[in-house]
Structure 1
C-alpha cells in the first residue's frame, strides 16, 4: 500500500511539472491579489476638436447614475485645453495629458479639483505630450519632440528629459525597464521602427529594439512579455504585433495583426479592431480567443478606446461616432452583453475608475 502511494504521488508531481512547463512563467510572483476596493464612479476623457480648446472630462456617479458633462470645468472654472490625449490615476492623484496645449494637469480624483498644471515645453515651444505611465515614485511622459519626461510624483517637478526615438507614443513598464514605442508618425512616409528601452534605475536609454514601422501601442502582461502594435504604412506594409521578452529584450514573435488600442486584464487582452469589433487575445496561450467580444446586437460606430475594470471585469468601449459631435461610452458585462451607455464629449478616448 505504501509503495502504491509513493507511485501515485510521483505520478501526480510529474503531471504538475509538465502542466507548469506548458504555461507562461509569471516569474514566481503568483496570481495577483483580488482587489477589494469599491467603485465610486468613472471619469471619461474626451479630446474634443483640435485647435478648439474643448477637451472635456465627464464624471459618472455610480450611486445616483448622475452624469456631469465636464467635471473639470465645473469645479475649476476653466477648461482643460486643447486635445486631451491620456488620463491615469496613480496614488492619490489623477494625471491628464493635454497634447496640443502641451500641458499636464494633476488633479484630485475625488473632487476633480486641479492641484498643479505643468507646461511641457522647450523654450516656450510645446513638446506635444502623448502618454503617461508610472513606476514607484516617478511618472514618465512621452512627447512628440522625441523625449520622455521624468516627473517626481511627490514634488510634481520635472527632473529630466530622456531622449528616445521619433514621435514616441505609448509606453509600458516590465522587468525594471520602460518600453517606448517610437512611431515617427509625423514623418510620413519615413516612419520610425524602434522601441526604446529605458533602465528605470538610471533613467537612461540603454538600447533600441527594431520592430515593424510605425509602432504606436505598447502593453506588458504579467509574465514579462511586452506587446507592440505597429500600424505599418497603411499600404504594402501591414499592421503587426511583436512580442518582446523583457528578460532578454529579444523579439520572440512578429506577425501580421490588425488592432488599435490594447489593454490587458489578467490573461486576456482586449484590442480594438475595424468594423466596430473588439478582439479578445489570450496572452498566456498567445492566441485570439474571440474575434469580437460584443455578444449582443450593440453597434459601435467608431470604436476609439477600451478599458477594463479589474474589480468587476466590466469592459468599457468609447465610441467617437463622427468625431465632430458628442460621443458615447458603452459598458459591457464579462459576457459581452451591454449593460448601459452614457453620452459624453467629442471623441472620448479614455475611461478611468474612481474608488470610494
Structure 2
C-alpha cells in the first residue's frame, strides 16, 4: 500500500489532522439491491492518517439502509485511536487492531460497544500491532517489534509472545501451522526476507523460509499452498509471488508479480492492482484469470482493500482516493458489475460482514 511504502522509504508517515464527522447519514449513498437475509450489515475500518488519531469504523445496516460513519465513536463516546490496521469477526466478538495506538479493541459486533481495550506494549514501549488471525480459541496478533501475541479469546488475556522475524506483517494458517511474513519494513534498505513457521500445537517457531525481500502479504488456499507477496526493495529487487507447500515448507515457485495484498475465496484470489483495477488469480490453475475483475467500467481511483462475501458472492473494493480525504467502498456482483457504493472515512482498508 502506498501509505506503508512511504513509511518504509522515508521513515515517516503523512501526519495531517483531519477529524471525520461521526453523525448518522451524513454521507451520500447509492441505494443497493436487497442483500440476502443472512446478513445484518457490514463494517468498514478506515485507518485514517498516521499520527492524526482519526481511525473510524463505519457501519452500514442492510435492513434500513442507514450508514453510521463512525459507529464506535457514536456508541462508546471515544475514538478507536491512531491507524486502525486490521479487523476480523471471530465467534461473538469483533477484533480491531490499532497500529499507531498499539492496542487491540475487542467489540460486540451487534452493538459496536467495546468489550475490552487491550494494550500491546512492552514495558511501556509500543509493539505496533499489525494483523490478527484465529485458530480455535486463540487469536494471533503480529507486532512490528518482532513478536506474535497469543490471545485467549475466552478470557481475552495475552498468554505469551512468540519471537519471529523483523517487523512481521500478515499471517496465514495451513496444515496445522501459522505462517508469518517477516518484512523488515522499518529497516529500509535492509529488509527481512523470511516467513516464520509456527507449530500451532507447541506455539513455537519451527522454521524460517527464505523468500524475496520484504514479504508482507500471506494467504492460504484449500489445497495446502501458502502464497507470499513480497514488495522487494522498490529498486532492483522486484515484487514477487512465492508459493509455499505447507506439507514440506519448501518454496514451490517464485515469480515476478505485483500486488500488495491477496484475499482468497474458493479457487479465486483477488488482488488490488494499480490503475483502479482488481486482479484475479486462480489458485487451482495458478494462472491469472483476469487483469481486472471490474467489468462494467466503474472507475476506482485507488484500489486499497478487498473483501469477499462468501454468502452472497459480492465483492467489495475499497477506494482510498487521494489518501487524505474520505474514501469509498464499492460493492460488485460476482460478474464484476457495480451494485452500490458508500462513502466512508479516510483510507478504508477492511470490510467485515455481520450476521443477524
**Displacement after TM superposition at 1:50 (Å):** 1.0
Residue matched to 2:253 = 253
* Cα separation, 2, equivalents of 1:227 and 1:58: 30
1:297 shift after superposition: 1.4
Residue by residue over 1:273-307, the C-alpha shift from the partner in whole angstroms, topping out at 9 and shown as x without a partner, is: 11111111110111001010000111111111000
Residues of 2 paired with 1:111 and 1:40: CA distance? 12
- Aligned twin of 1:306: 306
Q: Distance in 1 between matches of 2:252 and 2:259?
A: 19
Unaligned runs of 5+ in 1: 1-35
Corresponding residue number in structure 1 for 2:206: 206
Shift of 1:176: 0.4
CA contact (8 A) 1:37 1:311 kept: no
Gaps of at least 5 residues in structure 2 are 1-35
Distance, in Å, in 1 between the alignment partners of 2:37 and 2:218 is 27
| C-alpha distance after superposition, 1:47-71 (max 9, x if no partner) | 0111111100000011111000100
- Does the C-alpha gap of structure 1 residues 37 and 88 become closer, same or farther in structure 2, counting only changes over 3 Å? farther
What is the CA–CA distance in structure 2 between the aligned matches of 1:191 and 1:274, rounded to whole Å? Answer: 23
TM-score, scaled relative to structure 1: 0.89
Contact 2:218/2:261 (8 A) holds in 1: no
1:348 positional shift: 0.3
Q: Under a length normalisation based on structure 2, what TM-score does the superposition of the two structures give?
A: 0.89
* Residue correspondences, number: 321
2:67 aligned with 1:91, yes or no?
no
The DSSP-based 3-state class of the residue aligned with 2:141 is strand
1: CA distance, partners of 2:297 / 2:254 = 33
Aligned to 1:139: 139
Which residue number corresponds to residue 19 of structure 2? none
Per-residue displacement from partner, 1:59-106 (whole Å, max 9, x unpaired)?
Answer: 001111100010001001110000000000000000000000000000
Q: CA shift at 1:224, angstroms? A: 0.8
- Partner Cα distance (2:235, 2:226) in 1: 26
Q: Which residue of 2 aligns with 1:321?
A: 321
Does 1:237 find its partner at 2:234? no
Question: CA, structure 1 residues 315+103, in 2 after alignment: closer, same or farther (shift >3 Å)?
Answer: same
Matching of residues 95-110 of structure 1 within 5 Å: 95-110=95-110
- Report the RMSD for the aligned CA atoms in angstroms: 0.8
